[in-house]
Structure formats: structure tokens, C-alpha cells
Chains A and B, each alone.
Chain A
Amino acid sequence: MALEPKKNAMPTQDPALRAHNFNEVALGYTEEIALSEAKRCLNCKNRPCVKGCPVNIDIPSFIMQVKNKDYEGAYQTITKSSSLPAVCGRVCPQENQCEGVCTMGIKFESVGIGRLERFVADWHNSHSTAAAVPPASNGHRVAVVGAGPSGLTCAGDLAKKGYKVTIYEALHTAGGVLVYGIPEFRLPKAIVAKEVGTLKELGVDIETNVVIGKTLTIDELFEMGYEAVFVGSGAGLPMFMGIPGEALNGVYSANEFLTRSNLMKAYRDKNDTPIMKGGRVAVVGGGNVAMDAARTALRLGAEKVYIVYRRSMAELPARREEVEHAEEEGIDFRILCNPVEILGYNNPDDKRDPKNGFVRAIRCIKMELGEPDERGRRRPIPVPGSEFELDVDTVVMSLGTSPNPLIKNTTPGLEVNKHGGIIVNEDGLSSRSAVYAGGDAVTGAATVISAMGAGKVAAASIDEYLMKK
């Protein structure tokens, strides 16, 4: 049987249509496509994909189960390693992980592992009615700070081992970046709610509206009887460029823009949270968050959306698939450009002009690439005299974040690095006994799956520590 050299394409919503709605862009494999894709797996001996996965899912086994139409079996194989399969199948950068090292990928296109994972998870969610069964309790209590990817994973792994886990979440909804950051069209919130529901079935308690570091401290959690704490408090304050005009009305951080639209549902008309809709928008930055912000702006009714990025397309850190989707939808990439100033309206004749104080344009300078920097990326250098203006009403700064200071400030003995990230060893243990940490709170802005990997490592370490105690 000849091998199909190309991966089965992912069915997607038509770009012209989806640019104006918040429904999911990628529609998912049908059973027929999934079976055809599963056949492409060579079930090779050295299984590089398993090592390429940050949570080491037994990928060849679940694909073989798909091939045999044992979809529920495939789901059970995945959930042995991952607490959030429907999420990972959607947002993992598989091209740099499992699929990046797939044996098929040496000569042909790699197997669509992420797409198959999503198919299996979606199949389970729409076919299985059996609730997850909590295992017998081992009598130990663990507190998890933050209901984002790392915290949910850590809680799920511990709950499966019989621990009584409570997650404390600062916001009003569990999910962390999965609900405040990643938009509906890339990750429907019903799917996040479903995965969170599965954890609750496993016996995990989730207390929303509790800010650790404010409402309760880490030390108080130990006083309350928790024997170990995992800190997955996530990203912190957004970075700005420090250029003139960043305080003008109409300038958002990506965190604020996305939180308004996603968490607060400002994209729906009946919700009370305001957001600037329509007009012309510039998103500064080239990561996945920048793509999410740009595509959200488009769906909110913008007539023109720019991505302003200081390096070239080759250096763009966002996933290729997201960049392609953004291009198809008509996002205008202004690469090798860097903002130098945001310009505002100021009507000297009418102090009450409602446009006063709002953004009218962004002034950029063209860049060229010089020698590689210490990380091997070619350094962008401004081209003298090349400044130009883009007329825009909204600017979204998507430049990354610095870790949240609240826990560091209220936990004596918890060491952080110069960026404010919590320092941990390879087991996820911090400088404080029985306090573990992972995800963006440790690394600064990174991916959902790397946070999940950290949550998994910490869960294993916590289990080992408490079983020895």
C-alpha cells in the first residue's frame, strides 16, 4: 500500500465568512478523514513523537486505536498523559513538538497528530456520557494556585492519584489563558468548560474569586492543612514599548484587549464590558497572542488590521498555521517595521472634541536585519529617515508579559529571578519547602503545552514528596 505523502487537510470555515464571526475556524476531521490520516502513521520503532510531546502522550498507540475505530480507547490512552486533550489538539504547536520529529516527516509530511488528538477528544465529548470516576482518596490535600493550563494539569494528575485537590483561581471563571486569552474562534469556551468539568468529576474543587497573595497567602494555605502547594499563577503585567503616546485612549495591551473580548464577552452585544470595535487597528508584535488580537479586532468589525513586526516573516514567532489563517482573512503584515510613536487627536479649536485624546495614527520606522544576536535571531536595525505613518484608531501592544508580583511579594523565602519568574529545580520545586511552581509564573510568556508539561512534572514530584513524607 502506497503511503499518502501529504497530511489530510483540516476543513476550515471559509475565510471571507469567518473573518466576521467568532465560530471556530478549524472544523475538525470527520471520521473518514481521521481514519485516512491514522493510516499514515508508520507505527515506527523508535517513536520520536512520544519524546517530542511535553507530556509524553503514547501517540502511536492512540493512533493505532483510531485506525481500529476504538475511539474511546484512544481517548483513554491520551488522558493517561494529558488532562486537556481537546485543548491541546487545538492549540499545541505540534509542528515544533510531536509532528516536528515524526518519522514520516523526514521524507513526506508528518502525521497530523494534533488533528487526530482533537478528533479523538471531540469524539469522546460528543459520544461519551459516562462521568469520570474519582479514585479512592489517599487522604492528602494539595492546593493549586491558578486554574490555567499548568494548574489544571497538576490538579488532574494529582486527583487521578487520589489526592484531594483545591484550585484557587483569581478570576471568576476557571481556565486561565484558555478563557481570558485564546479567542473563541480558536478554542471554544464550551470545550474548556467541558475539560474543567471532567476535573470536577475527578473530585477537584475549584474556588474562583480567590487571589493568592491577597485573599489568602501561601503560608495560610499550609495552615489550612494543605501539605503541598503548586503555583501556576500565570502571566503578569503586560510590557509596553516606552514610546510616546502609549497612554492615549485606544491603546491596549493584548492582555486587556483579549480579556475584554474573551473573558468579559465584549464581542457579544448584550454584555456590559466595552471595547473599541471597528475602525483601523495596528497590532504590534509577532507572536500567537498578536495573531489572536489581530483576528479578534477583525471579527469585532475592523475595516483594516495591521500586524506591525520588527523582523521578517521568517522570524515571526507565531505558529505558521495561525499566520496563514490571519493572511487568508486579510490581515496586513507590515514586517520590518517598528513603532516609534503613537499620535493622538488634538483639536486646538475645540477642547470638547470627543476625538481628543484618542489615537489617530502610529508612526513607524523601517528596519533591516543585521548580524544574529546571542539567540541566533538576526537583529533588526532601523533604517535612518524611513519613518512613515499608518492611520489607525486602535493600537494593541502584544510584546509579552512579566510574571505577576503578588505571590512573590507575600511569600517570604520564595526566590525569583531577575525577570520576576519563580526559581524552580528540575522537579518544579521552588526555594520554599513543599512549594512547587510552573508555567508562565516560572518561565514568563510561553505555550499552553509547556505550562502543562510543568504542571505534570510538579504533580509527579509532589506525589513522590508526599508519599515519602
Chain B
Amino acid sequence: MYRIVRKKVLNPTVIQLEIHAPLVARKALAGQFIILRPDADGERIPLTVAGTDPEEGTVKIIFQVVGTTTEKLKHLEEGDSVADFVGPLGRPTETEGIKKVCIVGGGVGCAISMPLAQAFHKLGANVTSIIGFRNKDLVILEKEFTEASDRLIMMSDDGSYGRKGVVTEPLKEILEAGEKFDTIIAIGPVIMMKFVVETARPFGVPVVVSMNPIMIDGTGMCGGCRLTLNQDGKRVTKFACVDGPDFNGYEVDFDEAMARGAMYRPFERASHEETCNLFKAAEAAASANGGKEVK
């Protein structure tokens, strides 16, 4: 069992947990992920490491409540535990030789790109961060990005915070103005990463994307996380868990990745609804019972 040491609600649907897992905390680097399973009936889900405290032995993860597993996690409090927590998995993000980087994050993807901004900042690289959210209420990690970035551009879809528009707009302006980056790192919804690649293509800037496909074991056994790269005119199958999660954005077949990501959507929706109802029923029973918790 792995104990939740701290819990912080970042916005109405995004939660940060610090979990006691000393072996993982000692090893994890920016760009790597962990797999956790909340309980014995639960699903294994991959989550990117958002920071570590090796001395305390804790690993920070940030997740958005989108389905059954994240709904279950949301209801866990400090002192509670998750059944399983394994990592660090995947390859760390390549940081060597990068002096100037542009980090593009969308929504909860900012939780994954924030530790990268911090890592590059610590290594002395010049960091531009462009991060976007649907609206003001969903903004997360602004303080962390401000501290880790030489330049921070905040975007919102509705203009309620920062500039109105999508992240590719300022990226395009900066590139058109002739600014050069050693690499762009894009992390967020697959569609956003696809458009960052298209925006950067005319300028010939390398783009690294972090893929987050459906996964089970995460150790190179099941093959569920496979994606297709277009390399030298050939279609090559790669596995995000051992070959990734970072890939050359110009090679990734994003349309295929989007379709694969939707495979269980109807199942997930029904299962999430059922889980929510169970939690609601438990809460109702608890309040009917004079506030005493019913398990």
C-alpha cells in the first residue's frame, strides 16, 4: 500500500497527490511516468511524474477526473492509500544539449510539461512556456510555470484569463518573428500536439511530443500502448511504455492515436457514471446516518 501524504485540489477537476513511494522517488526523472491501481478491483492507469521529494520519499502526481479510476482517486484523502504504485517507467525526456526550449502545454497536459520546464530551467536553458486552458477557472500551476520560465504566455479559449485563443497562435507569431529554438516540447490533448507539429513544420524546428495512450502493464509486455511512427517512408510500430512516452512529433500518426484513445469511451462513460452514483449514494447514506461515514 502506498500512502497519500498530501492532497491539493488545483481546480474543480484537477487534483494533485503526493504519494509515499521511496524507491520511485529516488529514481524518477522528468518525462517518466508511474502506473497506479487504486484498489483490488481497480484499473491500472499511467500518470506522469509531476515532481519528487527523494528525502521524504514522495512522488507527486496530477490528474484530471475523467473516469472511474480518477473518480476513485478523487475520493481518497491524506492518510488513505492506493493499492499499487510502480515506476518510474518510460524514458526520461532528453535534455542534453538543449539551450533554448519552447514548452507548449494544454489543459491537464500542463501538469506533465511543468516538471520539464523546471528541469530545463534548472539546467540553465532558456525556457519559453506557452500554456493554455479552456477558461480562468481551469488554470493550474501558474506559479510553478512563472518561476521556471524566462517567458510565460498564458492562453484561454474564451479570453477569461491571459490571451484569448489557442496555444499555436503565439507559437506561430514567435516563430514568424524569427526566433529559434533547439526544440519545442508539446504536451496536451493529441489534437493540440498535432497542430503544434503543423505550426512548427514550416520553420523546421524539432518537436517532441509526449504520448499518453491506453496502457496496462507499462513494462513492455501487453502491447496495448502501441502507436505508429512514419520513419523514412516506412510505418513502424512503437510502444509508448518502453520506447516513449516522448516521440518525434513529425513521425507520430496522431489520427491513429486519437482513434485508439477513444476505444473504450462508451464503456468508460457508463462506468464513470455508475461510480459517481455509488459515491453519491454513500454520501446520502452517510448524511442520513447523522454524518457518520458508511463504508
In the complex the two chains form, is B224's CB within 8 Å of A209's CB? no
CA distance A265 to B40 in the complex (A): 10
Give the contacts of B57-91 with A (CB-CB under 8 A).
68-69, 83-89
A208, A216, A234, A236: the one contacting B84 at CB < 8 Å is A208
B89, B226, B262, B264: the one contacting A357 at CB < 8 Å is B262
CA distance A237 to B239 in the complex (A): 8
B222, B259, B271: the one contacting A274 at CB < 8 Å is B271
Q: Write out, one digit per residue, whether chain A residues 345-379 have a CB within 8 A of any chain B CB (1) or not (0).
A: 00000000010110000000000000000000000
In the complex the two chains form, is A171's CB within 8 Å of B217's CB? yes
Select from chain B the residue with minimum beta-carbon distance to A354.
B266
Select from chain A the residue with minimum beta-carbon distance to B222.
A256
Give the contacts of A388-433 with B (CB-CB under 8 A).
404-406
B170 within 8 Å of A (CB atoms)? no
A223 within 8 Å of B (CB atoms)? no
A172, A234, A247, A354: the one contacting B256 at CB < 8 Å is A247
A256-B69 CB under 8 A given contacts A211-B87, A405-B242? no
Residues from chain B with a CB closer than 8 A to the CB of A252 are 224
Stretch at the interface among B41-49, B94-102, B139-147: B41-49
In the complex the two chains form, is A271's CB within 8 Å of B262's CB? no
A82 within 8 Å of B (CB atoms)? no
CA distance A336 to B268 in the complex (A): 38
In the complex the two chains form, is A406's CB within 8 Å of B23's CB? no
Select from chain A the residue with minimum beta-carbon distance to B259.
A357
How many residues on the B side are at the interface (Cβ–Cβ under 8 A)? 42
In the complex the two chains form, is A272's CB within 8 Å of B223's CB? no
Residues from chain B with a CB closer than 8 A to the CB of A357 are 259-260, 262
CA distance A216 to B26 in the complex (A): 10
CA distance A235 to B222 in the complex (A): 10
In the complex the two chains form, is B237's CB within 8 Å of A240's CB? yes
B263 within 8 Å of A (CB atoms)? yes
In the complex the two chains form, is A210's CB within 8 Å of B86's CB? yes
Residues from chain B with a CB closer than 8 A to the CB of A63 are none
In the complex the two chains form, is B89's CB within 8 Å of A238's CB? no
B221 within 8 Å of A (CB atoms)? yes
A253 within 8 Å of B (CB atoms)? yes
In the complex the two chains form, is B239's CB within 8 Å of A274's CB? no
26 residue pairs from A and B, CB less than 8 Å apart:
A172-B37, A172-B83, A180-B217, A180-B221, A208-B84, A209-B86, A210-B23, A211-B86, A215-B87, A237-B239, A240-B223, A248-B259, A250-B263, A253-B222, A253-B224, A256-B224, A264-B216, A271-B42, A271-B43, A272-B69, A273-B43, A273-B44, A274-B264, A357-B259, A405-B242, A406-B219
A-B complex: 6 closest residue pairs judged by Cβ atoms: A253-B223, A357-B259, A238-B223, A256-B222, A209-B86, A272-B43
State the A residues within 8 Å of B (CB).
170-172, 180, 208-211, 214-216, 234-238, 240, 242, 246-250, 252-253, 255-256, 259-260, 263-265, 270-274, 354, 356-357, 404-406
Kindly list 16 other residue pairs between chains A and B, CB separation below 8 angstroms, not including A172-B86, A265-B41: A170-B86, A170-B219, A171-B219, A172-B44, A209-B85, A214-B88, A215-B87, A240-B223, A242-B237, A249-B263, A256-B222, A273-B43, A274-B268, A274-B271, A404-B219, A404-B220
